[in-house]
Structure 1
Amino acid sequence: MEELPEGGYIEMDAEAQRSASIAEINLINAIDNMLRMLIEEVRTIYANIDKLRNSSEVEIDSLIKEVRNVKEEVERFKDDAMEYLARVPSGLIMKDIFGPIILGLNNANQLIEGSFYRLALLAKRGKAGEKLSGVTKDLLGLVMDQLEYLSKTIRIMSDYPKEAIEVVKKCGKAEDEIDKLYRSQLYDVLSEAKECPCAILAWEIVGNIEDASDVLKDVAENFRYYLLHKV
């Protein structure tokens, strides 16, 4: 096995450095695309939560399809990015960082879509309570903040890596707010549901969003680790 030099890094020649830089750019673009679609997904859900309770079954099904299409687009970006990442030479530190970022964003994507589907299911049966809808909207608003912080991090990190580190830290602070909101409102949300199946779905709706927030916090930590190598 090749011994690593002092500092733990293998020196790359000019061609290897150029290839690594191209790979970084391509992977960052892929992550940016995933974030863009995730933001669209959350915005679509957020904008329609208040309407769900007064929408027809046909309208709700149309919205479910719209959100699912965005989710599947995120998954396609994830698949392409992971296939590309598999071809990147091993030993590059970004390979160990970008993989968890890509998979984390897709995990958040699935959790958010799953949360919305459950809310839509209750709405179709006239059982999406006002408290549940309000808390779900508040949680998604904070998730949107997390996604916007990650998106801003990507926009500025090439020119201002130190500032990007400070921005990405805000993603973790937003997760703390989500956790507090989730814990403070969970009992009231479940109390509003008069039937056991509705209570289970309500718990999964807000729980999935809280889990997605945790995942995005992990994504932010990986970004911060990546940026620490740039300053």
Structure 2
Amino acid sequence: MTLRIGIAGISGRMGKLLAEEVAAAGAELAGGIGRLGDAAGLFAGSDVVIDFTNAAAAEAHATLAARHGKALILGSSGLSAAQEAAVERAARQVPVVYAANFAPGVNLLFALAERMAAALPPEQYDAEIVEMHHRQKVDAPSGTAIGLGRAVARGRSKTLEEVGMESGRDGHTGPRATGPIGFAALRGGQVVGEHTLLFAAGSEHIALTHRAFDRRVYATGAVRAAHWAVRQPPGLYDMKHVLGIG
């Protein structure tokens, strides 16, 4: 049976790429909505919905996924704690793949970041994350940068909230504290996405960098996640699960 995939945000740049990748993967485009549209109808007529809209729509779309018993692939960034809680509630009833980034390379970067953080003590190695995106991006740090920070924190057996974040340094800030993760966000031009994680010690620096040159890599990953999710029991997953590295 052909998989029916719906797209929330189909009129945007990512939405158009997603529609192309749905066809390339041999699935059926069940429908799509833009800023305004019948979201309930989209979920009712799809086996799985891919949502690359924005944080404001996440709670409503997660609720609809649970109500209609349909899998959800969520790629929106900048969700609040309340919005993430709504996604978690939906995942008790349906499979939800919620990822900061759907590029396979980025998710391998997350896995490496966690392993390296576990091996490099924070008392000796400061962790700094630098990201750059196109000038239209509205949230900072990016969801991928936050994902990297969470991976580093997990490697150090803490949450990002426990470790702490340092960003927007300006003026006479004093010496860097030991432990928190530093974030720097750059915006300009039409950069698709660049992320660098730096572990800096007195005697060495180690840098991991990922650069995306085409947004299609996110669309391809999201469609791959859609095919995977419909075969899973209810739960909250990410791309590491889809790739078999989580």
Q: Could you tell me the TM-score, scaled by structure 2's length? A: 0.26
Q: Which has the larger radius of gyration?
A: 1
Q: Which structure is higher in helix share?
A: 1
Q: Pick the structure with more strand per residue.
A: 2
Bigger relative contact order, structure 1 or 2, given CA contacts below 8 A and separation 6+? 1
